[in-house]
Amino acid sequence: MNKKVKGISFIVLGMFLTYLLVNRRGIETSNNSEGNFLFLFLNFFTLIAGKMGWIIIGLVFVAGLAYLIKKEVKISRKKELTGAICLLAISLLFIREDIVTPLPDSFTDAGRIILELGFGRESGGIVGSLVAMPLYKIIATTVMGIFLWAVVGLSIVYLLSTPLEYIYEWIKGVRQYYRSDEYKEKATLLKAKKMSEKLKRTDYKKYQKEEMKKRIIESRNQKLSFELAKKPKDSFLDKTEVYSDEELAKKEKEWTEFSKKMENDKVAAEKEKVAVKSERKPENSKVEEKKTEVKKQEEQQVKTAEKPELQKTVAENTKVSQENNTPEVKIPENKETLQNSQVNVKPSAEKELQKEVKTAVSEEIKSAGDKTVKKENKKVENHHEEMVIPKIEAFEDVEAIKRQKELEENLKKAEAARLNTDKGYNELLKKSIEEIFKIKPMDMEKKFEIEKSIIDNVNHLENVLKQFGIDAKVVNYEYGPTITRYEITIPAGVKVSKVTSLSDDIAMNLAAESIRIEAPIPGKNTIGIETPNKIKEPVHFSNIIQNKELEKGELNVILGKDIVGRDKIIDITKMPHLLIAGQTGSGKSVAVNTLIATLISKKSEKEVKFIMVDPKMVELMPYNDIPHLLVPVIIDPQQAAIALKWAVNEMENRYKQLMENGVRNIKSYNSLKYVEKMPYIVIIIDELADLMMVASGSVEESIARIAQKARAVGIHLVVATQRPSTDVITGMIKANLPSRISFALRSQIDSRTILDSAGAEKLLGQGDMLLLENGSSKLERIQGAFISDEEVTNLTSMLKSSRKVKYRDEILVETQENDVNVDPYFENAIEIIKQEKKVSISLLQRELRIGFNRASRIYDQLKEKGIISYDNQILIDDDLENEIKK
């Protein structure tokens, strides 16, 4: 075969296999003949390859590119054999990874489990399972895992030996070249070249700068010479004229003489300034001498003013006028003052004495002036105190204020009356609930027998482990209603896997139905072995409903009791959506009833509302007509799809209300005083499989949208199913329902579908469950609470008689969407249906070249418009097509 043909065929095969894996879901759901062929081919490929499908596709693409690019493609037999061994080792690793529990000792049982993993298409494939069957005793050991990883690593190294050799030689050659003399010479030449070019560039830059300077200077010279040569103009509009050369020479002489004259005048003016300054210097010195003399005289006056006799005379001769509020000072003559004071003063000191008296009088005047100013300030303050400032109430409408106060008081009274009525109703409701759910105490003799059997099991468990060479000790045990967990410690050097491989032997020796080993217990250095109690303690809903923890959360509900006997209560608002799975008789429906009964017992219809979907028409019918329902219990899958669409619209409307009020969630919204309280809405779907069979597209999309966004606006989903297959619990639904509860299931595959791990297949039934909470990777074992049919009937009858239900009929009325919401490819899809005479989502994807989600929406729109029926029959004719186009 031609090399290019081989390459193209390999690439086409790789693209075909890629299409199969990418569109796996669409192929599995299609019903046409083409889809059946692709489905068979996909099943065959995934059965053979398992998880190695993408690895095989990658190898096919590599082979195709090699045939197209390379001239010759030669692969030795050794490399072909090595590649096959590598793929087998990878397949065995996938098989080994999926073996959770120890394999039985018999070849038949172990082979059956390994083949089951191979046929599951999510492991190493059928080829890997066939190879793993003879190795069933050592396949799960650590040594085998190390050996397989070593085989894979060595095989990859051998397969890539030629490219690795090429890379090594290339690195080696590059390294030798960089160390050679030739490279060093060329490197020095290159360096010199760069330096010379750099110098040339710098010289050229200098040359450019000099040339630029010359040009600037020349341009300025030309401009200045032109300005000098211009003749003065009489007006602005006259033409500019230029002097001739002779005229310009004469003018230049005149201008030079004028400039010299100006310089001479300037020099003479500066000399005159210097002479004037020198003349003023002696006058300034005289002024300074006078200043010093005045300072000395002032100092003498201060000394004389300090004399007490002189101060007395000044105080007697200073009086203040009260009418003008200014002081009047009488200065005595010099002789009289000197005589009264009996101070002998020389005639030369009379003038100095007069100056001293004047300074003292001036100080007295100043102090008297300050006193008058203070008196005036006091008068002003007293005046302000006497003034009466009008109150603000004088400017308000007193009658309007009184009416406002009366209105507020009436509103308070009405609110108090409403609260009193609600309080009375709530108290009546609580009393009725207490009468319905009476506490059922446990029989003490049963409790004593349970403890006695636990002590016996401790001795049996230690003896069993000693028989198998494990010196283990039971250090603690915790028992719940149906399960007892024994905590054991093992000696150092003993592997945990040795204990887990003995699960069947331990169950046989303890005569237990089944056991579950948790190795190790999270946060402890012990191994937990869970065994069922021989005498089981019933968990009554009526006992747990009295727990005060139910009053604390927003939507607290009862699950049951955990493994140590504590009440297990969860808050639905923190889940925020719940997926429940369990086979018939496992306790799934009872758990749904406990959730509903808790909420309607503790919350009024103003706090929580329900939409209940019960396609089986059995489980939820007793709740019809309770005041908490928005619509009657829905039994028609089509109406359920409509109700889910209404819930999506309600979610969007609630988000708009939160945005308008500037809050982030329903709790903050309900704390506002000026808005009507927004009730929580819990949507209960008792059997999802029936809805997915009838209206899978719209139901799946609505559930996904509600699960993604509705938490903040108080809309929560509780979805239950007894068939946890991938066509019911799709990837989209599973990804958006993070909290899950699994009751007893038939197989490990079903357990992995719900919980992403094994364990649910070993549950005991009758309410024994595993809880995987949102944000947690740890499974918690719980015994579900039991509520009898009689208790449910009494509770619902009491609620129905206390208040009437107000249904919202518009919820189940399907709103006609505008043509704006119809996809632009809708008419193209109709043309494709007319040409192909068949329809499927994969056909729309392929012909319209669109994604799966958009093709699914177009498919649902075709059903809604009546183009195709709900059982995928084409109903279109010319009249219907014309009506749709109109």
pLDDT in tens, 577-599: 999 999 888 888 999 999 999 99
| Topology of the domain comprising 819-885 | Arc Repressor Mutant, subunit A (1.10.10)
Three-state secondary structure string covering 365-413: HHHHHHHHHHHHHHHHHHHHHHCCCCCHHHHCCHHHHHHHHHHHHHHHH
What are the backbone dihedrals phi and psi of residue 766, each rounded to the nearest 5 degrees, phi first?
55, 50
Q: Taking the alpha carbons of 811, 813, 819, 825 in that order, is the dihedral positive or negative?
A: positive
Q: Which residue has the higher pLDDT, 330 or 579?
A: 579
pLDDT in tens, 632-668: 999 988 889 899 999 999 999 999 888 888 899 999 9
| pLDDT score of 389 | 42
- Amino acid occupying residue 443: D
3-class DSSP state for residue 868?
A: strand
CATH code for the structural domain at 562-803: 3.40.50.300
Q: How far apart are CA 737 and CA 733, in angstroms?
A: 6
- Amino acid occupying residue 269: A
Q: Give yes or no for a contact between 314 and 353, defined as CB atoms under 8 angstroms apart.
A: no
Q: For 76-96, what is the mean pLDDT?
A: 82
Q: Report how far apart, in Å, the C-alpha atoms of 96 and of each of 46, 113, 592, 652, 749 are.
A: 18, 12, 38, 48, 16
DSSP string of 707-719, one letter each residue? HHHGGGGTEEEEE
CA-wise closest residue to 14 among 71, 70, 54: 54
Q: Which residue has the higher pLDDT, 837 or 375?
A: 837
Q: For 293-320, what is the mean pLDDT?
A: 51
Q: For 694-719, what is the mean pLDDT?
A: 87
Q: Taking the alpha carbons of 582, 585, 586, 591 in that order, is the dihedral positive or negative?
A: positive
Q: Which two tokens stand for residue 825?
A: 């490819």
Q: Report how far apart, in Å, the C-alpha atoms of 704 and of each of 453, 622, 645, 663, 710 are.
A: 48, 28, 11, 24, 10
**CB-based contacts of 688: which residues, under 8 Å, 6+ apart?**
699, 719, 720, 721, 728, 729, 733
CATH code for the structural domain at 444-532: 3.30.980.40
- Greatest extent of the chain over all pairs of C-alpha atoms, in Å: 153
CA-wise closest residue to 851 among 832, 823, 875: 823
pLDDT in tens, 404-429: 666 666 655 555 554 444 555 566 66
Q: How far apart are CA 811 and CA 95, in angstroms?
A: 50
- Amino acid occupying residue 289: E
pLDDT over 50 at 383, yes or no: no
Phi-psi region at 553: left, alpha or beta (left = phi > 0; alpha = psi -120 to 50): beta
- Amino acid occupying residue 275: A
Q: How far apart are CA 183 and CA 649, in angstroms?
A: 74
**CB-based contacts of 319: which residues, under 8 Å, 6+ apart?**
327, 328, 329, 330
Q: Report how far apart, in Å, the C-alpha atoms of 47 and of each of 26, 36, 115, 119, 132 are.
A: 18, 16, 11, 6, 15
| pLDDT score of 369 | 47
Whole-number average pLDDT of the chain: 77
The pLDDT-based confidence of 357 (bands split at 50, 70, 90) is very low
| pLDDT score of 269 | 84
Q: Give yes or no for a contact between 301 and 355, defined as CB atoms under 8 angstroms apart.
A: yes
- Look at 696-705, 820-829, 870-879 and tell me which has the smallest mean pLDDT: 870-879
| pLDDT score of 255 | 85
Q: Look at the chain and count its residues.
A: 886
- Look at 91-95, 377-381, 456-460 and tell me which has the smallest mean pLDDT: 377-381
What are the backbone dihedrals phi and psi of residue 413, each rounded to the nearest 5 degrees, phi first?
-65, -40
Domain ranges of the chain: 3-171, 308-385, 398-426, 444-532, 562-803, 819-885
| pLDDT score of 373 | 42
Q: Which residue has the higher pLDDT, 412 or 202?
A: 202
Q: How far apart are CA 493 and CA 544, in angstroms?
A: 45
Q: Give yes or no for a contact between 762 and 779, defined as CB atoms under 8 angstroms apart.
A: no
Q: Which two tokens stand for residue 781?
A: 């074992």
Q: Report how far apart, in Å, the C-alpha atoms of 120 and of each of 48, 316, 726, 742, 745 are.
A: 11, 127, 13, 21, 17
| pLDDT score of 122 | 72
pLDDT in tens, 466-505: 888 888 888 888 888 888 888 999 888 888 888 888 888 8
Q: Which two tokens stand for residue 836?
A: 């192909």
- Amino acid occupying residue 186: K
pLDDT over 60 at 76, yes or no: yes
pLDDT in tens, 249-268: 888 888 888 888 888 888 88
What are the backbone dihedrals phi and psi of residue 685, each rounded to the nearest 5 degrees, phi first?
-115, 110
Q: How far apart are CA 307 and CA 712, in angstroms?
A: 93
pLDDT over 70 at 298, yes or no: no
pLDDT over 60 at 285, yes or no: no
Q: Return the half-sphere exposure (C-beta side, CA atoms, 13 A cut-off) of residue 14.
A: 18
Q: Which residue has the higher pLDDT, 54 or 817?
A: 54
How big is the chain by its Cα radius of gyration, in Å? 52
Q: Report how far apart, in Å, the C-alpha atoms of 218 and of each of 207, 212, 226, 230, 585 are.
A: 17, 10, 12, 18, 109
| pLDDT score of 426 | 63
Q: How far apart are CA 36 and CA 29, in angstroms?
A: 10
Q: For tokens 């759901």, what's the residue?
A: 29
Three-state secondary structure string covering 730-782: CHHHHHHCCEEEECCCCCHHHHHHHHCCCCHHHCCCCCEEEEECCCCCCCEEE
The pLDDT-based confidence of 612 (bands split at 50, 70, 90) is very high
- 718 C-beta neighbours (distance < 10 Å), count: 25
Three-state secondary structure string covering 638-666: HHHHHHHHHHHHHHHHHHHHHHHHCCCCH
pLDDT in tens, 227-251: 888 778 766 556 677 788 888 888 8
In DSSP terms, 242 is beta-bridged to 230
- Look at 165-179, 335-349, 532-546, 594-608 and tell me which has the smallest mean pLDDT: 335-349
| pLDDT score of 331 | 40
pLDDT over 70 at 883, yes or no: no
The pLDDT-based confidence of 881 (bands split at 50, 70, 90) is low
Q: Is 6 exposed, middle or buried (0-12, 13-18, 19+ CB in 10 A)?
A: middle
- 588 C-beta neighbours (distance < 10 Å), count: 26
- 620 C-beta neighbours (distance < 10 Å), count: 23
DSSP state of 332: P
Q: How far apart are CA 386 and CA 824, in angstroms?
A: 85
pLDDT over 90 at 278, yes or no: no
Does the global pTM surpass 0.75? no
What are the backbone dihedrals phi and psi of residue 602, each rounded to the nearest 5 degrees, phi first?
-105, -20
